[in-house]
């Protein structure tokens, strides 16, 4: 009986602790005083090069990618077009439709996002939360996503996203985004 009580306490602690430590515990307000200030209209504008890896549920690399992005803004509304090239040879085109409020709140829509995502820009960081529907060839699952982007002093954006199903982490993405390098002239 004591062993069962101890096991229940350990399981409860494992279920509750991630909300207070680690990735899931971070809040936008934690970064409110950080700089430089992340403004999507500035830092996700123009041609962007993105390089990253996706980790599966065991923590092993399941995929690598390079993406070309283009952000275009009209006031507080913007479109971020993305073309991903995965190490498997697969190419994926996506498009985010973003709206930034004067208070830093963000509304994010995409064809594979269920409903609309939401988030906030605070200091040098942006947090987005949304539900994404995977392609049919990836099972068509709907996953809950927490997406953090951190603006570095040199203008590079570090991106870390976790994907969960029923509260269990099933994937993680780590990527860099930076202005597309100018073509080298011969």
Q: What is the pLDDT of residues 4-44, one digit of tens each?
A: 776 666 666 555 555 555 656 566 565 656 767 889 999 99
Which sequence spans correspond to the domains of the chain? Answer: 28-179
Do the strands 61-74 and 77-86 form a parallel or antiparallel pair, or are they unpaired? Answer: antiparallel
* Confidence (pTM): 0.82
Q: At 93, which helix (H) or strand (E)?
A: strand 91-100
Alpha-carbon distance of 42 to 36, in angstroms, equals 12
Alpha-carbon distance of 53 to 56, in angstroms, equals 10
Residues pairing with 129 in the sheet: 118, 146
CATH H-level, domain 28-179: superfamily: Calycin beta-barrel core domain (2.40.128.20)
Alpha-carbon distance of 84 to 143, in angstroms, equals 19
Q: What is the pLDDT of residues 38-76, one digit of tens each?
A: 899 999 999 999 999 999 999 999 999 999 999 999 999
């Amino acid at each position: 009986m004591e062993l069962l009580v101890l096991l229940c306490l350990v399981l409860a602690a494992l279920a509750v602790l991630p909300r207070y430590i680690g990735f899931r515990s971070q809040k936008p307000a934690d970064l409110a005083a950080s700089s430089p200030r992340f403004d999507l209209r500035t830092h996700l504008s123009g041609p962007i090069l993105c390089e990253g890896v996706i980790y599966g549920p065991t923590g092993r690399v399941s995929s690598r990618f390079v993406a070309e992005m283009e952000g275009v803004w009209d006031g507080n509304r913007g479109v971020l077009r993305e073309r991903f090239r995965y190490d498997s040879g697969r190419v994926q085109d996506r498009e985010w439709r973003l709206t930034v409020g004067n208070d830093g709140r963000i509304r994010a829509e995409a064809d594979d996002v269920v409903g609309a995502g939401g988030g906030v820009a605070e200091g040098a960081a942006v947090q987005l939360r949304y539900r994404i529907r995977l392609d049919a060839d990836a099972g068509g699952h709907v996953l809950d996503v927490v997406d953090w982007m951190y603006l570095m002093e040199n203008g590079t954006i570090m991106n870390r996203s976790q994907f969960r199903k029923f509260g269990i982490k099933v994937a993680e993405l780590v990527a860099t985004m930076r202005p597309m390098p100018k073509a080298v002239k011969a």
